[in-house]
Amino acid sequence: MEALDATRRQNDLAEVFADAWGRGLAQRDAIQKALGLTHAKKREKVEETIRKALSEIGEEPDGFTLATKS
């Protein structure tokens, strides 16, 4: 995440994230599970970065929330 911030490539992450999210429930579950395994402070940073980048590129993935599954 730090590298994306440093190189200002968050929009690339948002595009890939939106694509993966749109591939169906299995991908969505995997994304949420991975986020759920991440340390809370790091997860907050990742979620903040994704949320901001999605907004910047005008993406609103269907059914998207950042609620994680533990």
Residue pLDDT, tens place only, 5-42: 778 888 898 999 999 999 999 999 999 899 899 999 98
Count of CB atoms situated within 10 Å of the CB of 27: 13
Please report which confidence band the pLDDT of residue 45 belongs to, taking 50, 70 and 90 as the band edges: confident
Residue 2 CA to its chain's centroid (Å):
14
CA contacts within 13 A on the Cβ side of 19: 6
Q: What is the pTM of this model?
A: 0.75
End-to-end alpha carbon distance in the chain = 21
Residue 46: pLDDT over 90: no
Residues near 22 by beta carbon (within 8 Å), at least 6 away in sequence: 61, 62
Residues near 64 by beta carbon (within 8 Å), at least 6 away in sequence: 21, 54
